């Protein structure tokens, strides 16, 4: 039901915002680590003018909402409001939390980890905290800058400003924290790449498909292709296996066809039989 999905997503955004606020208040804010985003700008203004971080986050996003309303529409902005408001609120509510460490390296690493986990949970719940992500969307619509370039550029500007105001060393630690949090966001959303996708080009595709299914207990998809140079028929097999089955898969392939061509890559997320099942309510 839609109301169940709404409650689940709201709780996810609330939990993620709370975790992010803990990371900011216990690690990043006390050590002047402005690791990009609206929160990074808030840290700069807090230590420079004493303006509360939560107030900067909400004010920055309100301005962006006004600018982006015309270009991005109501539906897009609606997805960012809950995350933005909760993030701003929780940063101020939890501002009493003491600094966990005065070691700037530990603060950069663990602050990035906690912030990344929180932000990842918010994104998994279909929420957003606005900030530089919203600014990147605006730059894309106005100037054709890709969203990724706009996001990186916005964060770099904030980290660079922190380096100028607080010193180059703190700016470098802030960049480290930004890298850690960005990596964790991807991990929370996509997983640890525990699965491998194998693409196998072989002239013995029928025999090999049967052997892989028999010995690995994994599904195999068969496709037909022709060599661009030889114009000879080749079979293409696609199979997704667990990481610890990769060696066995390669051994089976070369046992059947020593001339087979194999491409193995990380599958960041796999949904379906034999792996994580699709949550019907999250569709």
Q: What is the pLDDT of residues 50-69, one digit of tens each?
A: 999 999 988 888 888 777 66
* Interior/surface letters 2-20, b for 16+ CB within 10 angstroms, e for the rest: eeeeeeebeebbbbbbbbb
Give the integer Cα–Cα distance in Å for 171 and 176: 9
The DSSP line for 170-224 is: HHHHHHHHHHHHHHHHHHHHH----EEEEEEEES-HHHHHHHHHHHH----EEEE
* Interior/surface letters 166-185, b for 16+ CB within 10 angstroms, e for the rest: beeebbebbbbbbbbbbebb
Q: Give me the residue spans of the domains in the chain.
A: 2-190, 195-282
Residue 145 has a pLDDT of 63
Q: What is the pLDDT of residues 251-278, one digit of tens each?
A: 889 899 998 999 998 876 676 666 665 5
DSSP state of 268: S
Give the integer Cα–Cα distance in Å for 247 and 89: 50
Q: Which candidate, 58, 175, 36, places its Cα nearest to that of 109?
A: 175
Name residues of the chain where pLDDT drops below 50. 1, 148, 280-283
Residue 280 has a pLDDT of 47
Within 10 angstroms of residue 127's Cβ, the number of other Cβ atoms is 25
74 exposure class (CB count in 10 Å sphere: 0-12, 13-18, 19+): exposed
CATH class for domain 195-282? alpha beta
């Amino acid at each position: 039901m839609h109301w169940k999905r709404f409650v689940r997503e709201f709780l996810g955004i609330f939990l993620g915002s709370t975790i992010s606020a803990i990371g900011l208040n216990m690690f990043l804010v006390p050590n002047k680590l402005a690791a990009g985003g609206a929160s990074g700008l808030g840290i700069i203004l807090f230590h420079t003018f004493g303006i509360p971080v939560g107030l900067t986050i909400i004010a920055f996003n309100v301005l962006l909402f006004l600018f982006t309303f015309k270009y991005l529409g109501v539906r897009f902005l609606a997805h960012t409001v809950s995350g933005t408001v909760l993030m701003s609120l929780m940063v101020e509510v939890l501002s009493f939390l003491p600094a966990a460490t005065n070691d700037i390296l530990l603060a950069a690493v663990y602050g990035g980890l906690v912030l990344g986990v929180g932000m990842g949970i918010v994104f998994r719940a279909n929420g957003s905290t606005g900030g530089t992500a919203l600014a990147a969307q605006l730059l894309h619509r106005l100037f054709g800058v890709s969203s990724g370039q706009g996001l990186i550029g916005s964060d770099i500007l904030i980290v660079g400003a922190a380096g100028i105001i607080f010193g180059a060393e703190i700016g470098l630690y802030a960049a480290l924290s930004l890298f850690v949090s960005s990596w964790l966001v991807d991990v929370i959303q996509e997983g640890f790449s525990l699965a491998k996708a194998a693409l196998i080009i072989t002239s013995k595709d029928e025999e090999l498909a049967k052997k892989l299914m028999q010995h690995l207990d994994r599904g195999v998809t068969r496709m037909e292709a022709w060599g661009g140079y030889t114009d000879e028929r080749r079979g293409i097999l696609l199979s997704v296996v667990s990481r610890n089955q990769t060696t066995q898969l390669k051994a089976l392939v070369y046992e059947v066809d020593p001339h087979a061509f194999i491409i193995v890559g990380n599958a960041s997320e796999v949904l379906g039989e034999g792996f994580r099942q699709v949550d019907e309510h999250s569709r």
